[in-house]
Structure 1
Amino acid sequence: MEGVKVERPPADGRRVTTEAPAFSGRTAARATRWSGLAVVVRQGAQLLFAVLLARWLGPAEFGVVSLATIYATLMALLLDQGLSSAYVQRRTLPEGAAGAVAGVNLLAAVLLGLATAVAAGPVAAFFDAPGLEVVLHVLAAGLVVKGAAVAPRAVLTRRLDYGAVAAGDVSGAVAGAAAGLVAALLGAGALSVAVQVLVTDAVVLVVLLARSRGPVPSLRLAPLRELLPTSAAVFASNAVAQLSRNTDNVLVGKFLGTAALAHYAMAYRVLVVPVQFIGLTVKRVLFPAFSRMADDRAKLAATLVSATELLAFASVPLMALLAVAAPQLVEVVLGPAWAESAPLMTVLALAGARETIFYITPSLLTATGRAGWTLRFELVSTAVQVAGILAGLPFGILGVAVGYACAGLVLTPVLLVVQRRTTGVRVRDQLGAMAPALHASAWAALAYLAWRWSGTGTWTTLLAGAVSYAAVLVGVLLLVHRTPALRTARRLAAVVRR
């Protein structure tokens, strides 16, 4: 591949130094396009599956699906141990590193599957959800498939071959969602989510293995020595982050019941929408980009400001609309049984916009060799968020949502300082990059609320309010923030053209 440099191994043949490919403008545009396609299709398919399943099952049974989803997220973290991030981040690699990563992931998958089989019953009893046990048993059986896909994905990502990664993600997401929906129509209930996960993982594995042509798993662990420092720091920070993000779900499921968890988890998916559709796309592309420019602080700062502006324009208007339109959207999409989710969606949509804008910060720290900073921040973040969640728990699921959102606001100044210390970017520049999207979205939200307060019907409010929202948003951007708006539009157009 162009930009890849391979040095011949020394006489003992034990080491090959492979330099990662260069991240040029055209490469970045191609990577963004493929990564964006993969994220949109995968998350869109999963969101459609979740919405339809929620409407068919109702809040009571969907709570079991939410618990199973938490388990699947945790297993994805434990299977990787941060090795794939370390593999992508390093500019040079020892011979056999890919095979060692694959071997460790497979071994971890087997051990985690056995542990899950033993713990499934007690976990179901802890949440008072008998239907959860059989779902966990099925998911445990598929962990080897999920674990086997980690190393091929890392190999392709390091090559910047996002087309191959997208092929696996898109085909897996579509096949998995289709299989899950068929299972639900046949009466599988909460087990439908296990079917969806298993089919998705199997298809992804087949495609990634075919495109990467390996690697062959190996338990010769010596090549991992150079990866372990970064891997350990990434794994620790990711583990703390997952603890922070799932503490609310666990507490709601334990103390407020699975039906309350279903409402909270469905609303939480609104928060995840911009993070997964937008933040994850940009994060995937910027991680190798930041790694290549780690020694150029001026370039890092400029790239960070540009990314922040793009993330703000992409997420804030969308989430502000979801926040004000939540009551109508819930009634139309999910049905009257889910009305309790609407105020939660409003709160978590606003929290999601903030989280999306700062989603790239951990990647920035890891790419610049500051993975330890990520761990320290995640520890602080977890403490603040758990405190907010616990403070809100006595007030029910809405209190938990408000506590989570307020904790995020408290952490925002810390994130801005971390970005400044890493790249030298001024806090004023970062806030300035966010301001146009925030300002225009605020006026647009008032336009939608005017329709809500007028007392018109659900469909009229939703359609007329959305049109008014879009019109005011575009008007304010063109009249007040024309330069940054057009600059962002040109960036997106350049990516599409390339």
Structure 2
Amino acid sequence: MSSSNSSLKAKILAGTAWTSVGVVSEKVIGIVTIAFLARLLEPKDFGTVAICSMLTGIVSTFTDIGFQSAIIQRKDNVNKAASTAHSITIIMSFLNFGLLFLLANPLSTFYGDRAIENIARVLSLNLVIGSFTRVHNFLFSRELQFGKKAVCETVPNVIYGFVAIPFAYFGFGVWSIVYGELAKTTTRTLLLFALSRWKLSFKIDPKIARELINYGKHVMFNNVLTFGAGNVDNAVVGKYMGLASLSFYKIAYNAAALPGDVLYQIIGRVIVPAFAKVQDDLGALTRQYYRVLEYASYIVLPVFCGLFILAPEFINMLYGPKWQPAVVLFRALLLFGFANVLMMFSNCLVLSTGRPSLLPKMTLTRLILVAVLLFTLLRINLLALCVGVSLLQVLLFFVQALYLRRHYHIPVRIHFEAMLSPAIFSLAMIASLLGSVGLLEGLHLNSITSLFVKVSIGASVYLSFMLFFKWEMIQRLFLTRQELGR
């Protein structure tokens, strides 16, 4: 193996490690911060900020016009391209800030909350502040400098907590979240300036600008669709069910999506190149895909099953008693969370084999179907919508499985085969948890201690089944990990 290939492999492995540290740290810090804020603020406050963030988020997708992918893949005139993208991004951020300033008033009128107007206008400052180093962040990814990138993502989240929690404690209400967001964006911008070696100029090369826009517009289109599919429910729930109901829905939705999101961000960057290496060998590709599904199922299936049983204690521990209305919504959305994990891995397979055109089609399909669900099931209640969202994600997963059968000759049945043993072990775990309920009630333990004991019982039962029936698979998993490290 040449020294250049060895160096690249070392950078990729180091990047994966740093990305894992950054993702886990960011999620843990976020959970801890929200746990404090959920006890200090009213549920409606989170709904108010969610509406404002939705507006700034949709506008921000137009700020860099998909420049990240265009910068990362570019082979020549990188500095000129980066400076051109930097200049366009700053100009677009100021234009979008002006647009948001004008839209804030009608948005507050639409949702019947005057606080939205001022909050949306202040949060829109983040677009301007962040635009000065947005391209610097892209260049970190291009140069595989994931250590610096992780620092620039983790530290701002810590600062957010240090700012938002004290402000909430001293009675600033919803504005404590706003001040925390501003502090986070400002910190990230300063860190990117301090750690980057790129001195980008404010110059626009017309030829390069056209090239960047032509490449990035397709990415931007998919980003807009993705954002729309992920937020159309928030927009409609906030309007027709109220901002407090939106808060319960978002807490439940985010909690259900969290395990899959963490798992995907950690190993997704590894399995894409792994699939790519065997993309011309359909037999090997099928075996790789099956193993990924199998390993992931052994991790996430017991987690989702355990969360379903322990949902009341879990929500109470994280967010406090006032968030108990989110429990039933959380349970209804756990099936969505699991199906979403499975879809993420099939997405990785599609991306690794050079057929990304499926993804925007699936995103657009989900956007349309979610809109249909919103205007049908929401007429019943919010729980009906959550059940519909879960069933829709399962349906989309099966559609994607049929696509894999048609284009990659991957049988649909292997999805069930990969999940069979994890499902049996998880059922045994659920039985042990249900059996321990009466015993623990007699001991009169507090909620946190009770949760810890139940988790310990469930984990012990599940791991016992794993060690007894799947010891060879565990050994194979460690051997695979050692091979990746060589």
Give your verdict on TM over 0.5: yes
How far apart are the structure 2 equivalents of 1:183 and 1:108? 32
**C-alpha displacement at 1:151, in angstroms?**
1.7
CA distance in 2 between partners of 1:239 and 1:374 (Å): 13
Aligned to 2:473: 484
> Distance between the aligned counterparts of 2:434 and 2:133, measured in 1?
46
Deviation at 1:74, TM superposition (A): 3.1
Matches of 2:438 and 2:166, distance apart in 1: 41
DSSP-derived class of the 1:359 partner: helix
In structure 2, the partner of 1:268 is 253
Other-structure match for 2:455: 466
1 CA distance for matches of 2:420 and 2:227? 29
Code of the aligned partner of 2:121: H
Residue 234 of structure 2: aligned partner: 249
Q: In the alignment, is the contact (CA less than 8 A) between 2:67 and 2:216 conserved in 1?
A: yes
SS in 2 for 1:231: helix
After superposition, the Cα gap between the structure-2 partners of 1:211 and 1:259, relative to the gap in structure 1 and judged at 3 Å, is same
Whether the 8 Å CA contact 2:297–2:422 is kept in 1: the answer is: yes
Of stretches 218-227 and 371-380 in structure 1, the one that deviates more from structure 2 is 218-227
What is the one-letter code of the residue matched to 1:462? L
Amino acid at match of 1:92: K
Distance 2:54 2:341 in 1: 20
Does residue 236 (structure 1) correspond to residue 221 (structure 2)? The answer is yes
Alignment of 1:68-467 (within 5 A): 68-88=52-72, 90=73, 92-95=75-78, 96-214=80-198, 216=200, 217-228=202-213, 230-285=215-270, 289=273, 293=277, 296=280, 304-362=289-347, 364-366=349-351, 368-420=353-405, 425-452=410-437, 456=441, 459=447, 461-467=450-456
Taking structure 1 as reference, are residues 113 and 218 closer, same or farther at Cα in structure 2, changes over 3 Å only? same
**1:429 Cα deviation (Å)?**
4.1
- 1:244-291, CA deviations, whole angstroms, 9 ceiling, x for partnerless residues? 11122111110011111111111112123124322223334556x379
Which deviates more from structure 2 when the two are superposed, residues 114-123 or residues 175-184?
175-184
Q: Distance in 2 between matches of 1:158 and 1:303?
A: 27
Q: Given residue 191 of structure 1, which amino acid in structure 2 is its aligned partner?
A: W
RMSD of aligned C-alpha atoms? Answer: 3.1
Distance 1:171 1:210 in 2: 13
- For the Cα contact (< 8 Å) 1:388–1:406, is it kept in 2? no
- The code of the aligned residue for 1:143 comes to L
Q: Partners of 2:31 and 2:270 in 1: how far apart? A: 23
Give me the whole-angstrom Cα distance separating, in 2, the residues matched to 1:405 and 1:42: 26
Percent of pairs identical after alignment? 21
Distance 2:374 2:419 in 1: 27
Q: C-alpha separation between the residues in 2 aligned to 1:44 and 1:293?
A: 33
TM-score between the two structures when normalised by the length of structure 1: 0.85
Q: Which stretch of structure 1 is more off in the superposition, 206-215 or 166-175?
A: 206-215
Tell me which amino acid in the other structure corresponds to 1:474: L
In 1: Cα distance, 2:385 partner to 2:174 partner: 25
Partner SS state of residue 81, structure 1:
coil
Q: Secondary structure of 2:198's match?
A: coil
Seen in structure 2, the aligned counterparts of structure 1 residues 22 and 371 have a Cα distance that, compared at 3 Å, is farther
Is the 8 Å Cα contact of residues 53 and 123 (structure 2) preserved in structure 1?
no
Other structure's SS at 1:92 match: coil
Give how far 1:491 is off: 5.2
Gap change, CA 1:400 and 1:438, over 3 Å in 2: same
- Cα distance change of structure 1 residues 488 and 212 upon mapping to structure 2, 3 Å threshold: farther
- Deviation string, structure 1 residues 212-243 (Cα, Å, up to 9, x no partner): 32261542242254554552232222221221
Aligned pair in 2 of structure 1 residues 395, 87: CA closer, same or farther (>3 Å)? Answer: same
**SS of aligned partner of 2:380:** helix
Q: What code does the residue aligned with 2:104 have?
A: A
In structure 2, the residue matched to 1:56 is 40
Query: Does 46-55 or 78-87 show the bigger shift?
Result: 78-87
Q: Distance in 2 between matches of 1:482 and 1:75?
A: 51
Equivalent residues, number: 478
User: Could you say what secondary structure the match of 1:142 adopts?
Assistant: helix
SS in 2 for 1:78: coil
Write the letter of the residue equivalent to 1:184.
Answer: A
The one-letter code matched in structure 2 to 1:214 is W
Whole-angstrom CA distance in 2 between matches of 1:42 and 1:165:
12
CA offset at residue 405 of structure 1? 0.5
Aligned equivalent of 1:66: 50
In terms of mean alpha carbon deviation, does 226-235 or 350-359 score higher?
226-235
TM-score (normalizing by structure 2):
0.87
> Alpha carbons of 1:168 and 1:310: their partners in 2 closer, same or farther (altered >3 Å)?
farther
Distance 1:49 1:204 in 2: 18
Change beyond 3 A, Cα 1:435–1:192: farther
Q: Which runs of 5+ in 1 are unaligned?
A: 5-20
* Conserved 8 A contact 2:56-2:124: no
Residue 101 of structure 2 aligns with an amino acid whose one-letter code is A
Work out whether residues 370 and 389 of structure 2, in 8 Å CA contact, stay in contact via their aligned partners in 1: yes
Q: Which amino acid aligns with 2:242?
A: G
Check the 8 A contact 1:449/1:465 in 2, yes or no. Answer: no
Point out the more displaced range, 241-250 or 73-82.
Answer: 73-82
Q: CA deviation at 1:139?
A: 0.8
* CA shift digits 1:126-174 (9 cap, x unpaired): 1122222221111111212223333222212122221111111111111
Per-residue CA deviation, residues 390-440 of structure 1 (Å, 9 max, x unaligned), is: 332122221111111110011111222344566554444454444443443
**CA distance change for structure 1 residues 143 and 361 in 2, over 3 Å: closer, same or farther?**
farther
Partner Cα separation in structure 2 for residue 421 and residue 212 of structure 1: 46
